[in-house]
């Protein structure tokens, strides 16, 4: 294991963490279970991360990055001067597809976010674990508007927060009822609502 580069070791531990949380929930994500899943000695975790909480935060960021990459592929497929509504609908539908394909993965992400929120129950307002999600979605919304020759009439950061809240709602309700049609309807509703907040660039 000593010959594994640090970044690869971190990647393997993050993947193992998400597998453990999908299988056992956040309560089961102990250091021992994670390293067993990664087939590493216990000391490998503390070599790659400050502690288990640091690893859990990195796992949440990894899910956000995967969703960003999927959305960016959708933007790249839009072609020259695509219709903004079509772009946003495609992006939202792509998220629902990810949710349907790997529900345990998205449930693990929700558990990670709730876990980090518990530590902030009595804390004053400050950036939380969703900060990375807001930044990713804001960048994607800006890219989509630029590609379609449109401009947002509201701050893109504000729209990103609305979008993240909607995606969380789609996730929790779909996990409860597995109603694909309802999830897609909500996704398309949000895409059209966003489009109404644009003007030609």
3-state secondary structure of 86: helix
Superfamily of domain 60-200: Tetracycline Repressor, domain 2 (1.10.357.10)
Beta bridge partners of 150: 200
CATH classification of 1-49, choosing from 3.40.1350, 1.10.287, 1.10.10, 2.60.40?
Answer: 1.10.10
The pLDDT confidence band at residue 179, using thresholds 50, 70 and 90, is: very high
Higher pLDDT among residues 21 and 127, named by residue: 21
* Residues 163, 95 contacting (CB under 8 angstroms): no
The reported pLDDT for the residue numbered 101 is 93
Beta carbons within 10 angstroms of residue 102's beta carbon: 15
Give per-residue pLDDT as tens, 69-92: 776 766 666 555 589 999 999 889
Task: Give span(s): CATH 1.10.357.10, the chain.
Answer: 60-200
Q: Report the DSSP pairing between strands 150-152 and 198-200.
A: antiparallel
């Amino acid at each position: 294991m000593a010959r594994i580069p640090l970044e690869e070791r971190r990647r393997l531990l993050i993947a193992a963490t998400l597998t453990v949380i999908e299988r056992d929930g956040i309560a089961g994500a102990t250091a021992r279970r994670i390293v067993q899943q990664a087939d590493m000695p216990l000391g490998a975790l503390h070599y790659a991360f400050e502690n288990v909480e640091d690893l859990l935060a990195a796992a949440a960021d990894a899910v956000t990055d995967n969703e960003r990459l999927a959305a960016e592929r959708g933007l790249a497929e839009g072609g020259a001067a695509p219709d903004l509504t079509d772009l946003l609908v495609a992006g939202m539908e792509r998220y629902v597809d990810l949710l349907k394909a790997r529900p345990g993965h998205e449930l693990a992400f929700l558990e990670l976010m709730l876990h980090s929120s518990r530590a902030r129950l009595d804390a004053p307002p400050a950036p939380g674990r969703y900060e990375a999600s807001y930044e990713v979605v804001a960048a994607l919304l800006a890219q989509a508007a630029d590609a379609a020759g449109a401009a947002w009439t509201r701050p893109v950061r504000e729209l990103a927060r609305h979008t993240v809240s909607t995606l969380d709602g789609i996730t929790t309700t779909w996990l409860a009822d597995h109603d694909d049609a309802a999830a897609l309807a909500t996704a398309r509703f949000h895409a059209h609502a966003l489009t109404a907040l644009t003007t030609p660039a």
